[in-house]
Structure 1
Amino acid sequence: MDPAHAAHGIVTIDTGFQRPRFDAAYLIVENGRAAFVDCGTRHALPALFAALEAQGLGAEAVDWVILTHVHLDHAGGAGALMRELPHARLLVHPRGAAHMVDPARLVAGATAVYGEAEMARSYGEVVPVPAARVYEAPDGTVVELAGRPLLCADTPGHARHHLCVWDARSRSWFTGDTFGLSYRELDDAQGRPFAIPTTSPVQFEPEPLKASIRALCAREPDAMYLTHYGRIGDAARVGAELIEQVDAMVALARAARDRPDRHAWLVEALAALYAECAAAHGSRAGAAGVRAALAIDIELNAQGLEVWLDREAKRTGG
């Protein structure tokens, strides 16, 4: 737990997915009650329960498991987690609820992206959540954690089943993937965060994503809690830079559309874009460090942009 923010009762949990400080879940503690925001994969359960124990709490203290969206690095462990939490309810976007009750299509889609071997290694078994324990959260839904209001906002763009959670107590958003990703090794010398958008398959939509980023910034938050990774400040600046990058990424995707080497070219173009943006930010990582830190994300962003390109071509007949 970050001592500077202990008063807000927010614990950052490294789920251990892929590498250290890559994928976070969050524990919110209020008057002896608890909520998880995102939960990582099934392999994350020991870290989640260790965080509870460190706060002097047991499984019976958890009232809510709130999912920002149902991509497996955020929600793959939800079914297994809910089996261990006797009183918890699962809160999820209306478009994602059915996938938690019956995750077969979700698993099939992820397997198509990652392959069976990677699915087994990184995610493990994905189990369903009983329908009676799943609660849908349309835009504007407010749930309370021991009197602490948590507001769910519909934030499409990364995925159509994405919500972000506004915590008025800390004046912070839990942003899932809507506010991009930001790793500490890419910060500048003063610790200012550098972030990039995430356009991973299969529902990236540039205009809704930019609108969602603007909506998050409109509350003038004190902090953003990103799944990838951790708490960042300076939301207005980061949000403006994310929007600029979305436009730049779309332009690169359109430039790649008819190339025979579309994927390979787009991967290289994205790597160059992020290195340039990171250098302008003053990132300590250097071009090679940026590429190493973002290797997984560059590949997934390229795939997501290509899915978007193909969908746009079908829509426009181009």
Structure 2
Amino acid sequence: MSDSNTSDFTNPSTFILLGIPGLEAAYVWISIPFCTMYAIAILGNFTTLLIVKREPSLHGPMYYFLCMLAVTDLALCTCTIPKMLSIFWLNSREIDFSACLTQMYFIHCFSVMESGIFVAMAFDPYVAICNPLRHSTILTNRMVAKIGLAVVLHGGMIILPYSLLARQWPYCRTNIIPHSYCEHMAVVKLACADIRVSSYYGLFVIFSVTGVDVLFIAMSYIQILRAIFSLPTKDARLKTFGTCASHLCAILAFYIPGLFSLLTYRFGHNVPLHFHILMAKVYLLVPPMLNPIIYGMRTKQIRDRLLHLFTHKGT
């Protein structure tokens, strides 16, 4: 590369997103399931918010946390899917440098926030099952608001160094990102500098956030299971455990593809690039799509209000 070309990329005004390298011929077909899942995620999460807002009996800690999850899911998938679809349909590959860093920040910020919300949602059944007499005094609206604020601040602050570090690196190799969105390591790998600080901090965030959150969730469920197994009858145990089933399904849908995507991207050097990108999309889109379905099917109050909403409109 010549000196003139090199200097052009020192502070690039735009990046070029390649989409899914190697699968360009199949973009139209790939876009169909992604567009469908995005539409389901938007419809499902907005429906959850509408039901909780319109039904006073659902104005409680569990459903407030569920609303936080729905808002986070809407933001998480909207950060990436519209741009990805514009690449597939319109060949709109350019993204402004600042917009790229902003997208990178919000993607990882909302991912951390979602993980924190799952911890908060594990705290609710823990109190309800292990200390039911104090549930209403512990999880007050004020406490729920404080937990929500802590989740937002934690996600916003811990991810902030991603963008600050990425902005300071010189980019003199290329401005082409072999990805469909501005993923943290996909961006900083373009820098012509020692990026070990960004890499190590990224690993710290992955393992500290995921590790600590999973630890708190595991500790909550250990206490919940101990309380469940102490119940006198099998029916009581199954009924009590059923109240936690939707939360456990949502946790698995979020953490398993997330960890698989992040670890294979960093350490799976023999895994094809298009597989990395597809898994990253699964991580960002499938949980927002599945969460309202899981909670809608497993939570009787939401299911009943949803049926009432449609039957009421039909009459």
Larger Rg: 2
TM-score of the aligned structures, taking structure 2 as reference length = 0.26
Q: Which has the higher strand share?
A: 1
Q: Which has the higher helix share?
A: 2
TM-score of the aligned structures, taking structure 1 as reference length = 0.26
Query: Whose relative contact order is higher, 1 or 2, with alpha carbons under 8 Å and at least 6 apart?
Result: 2
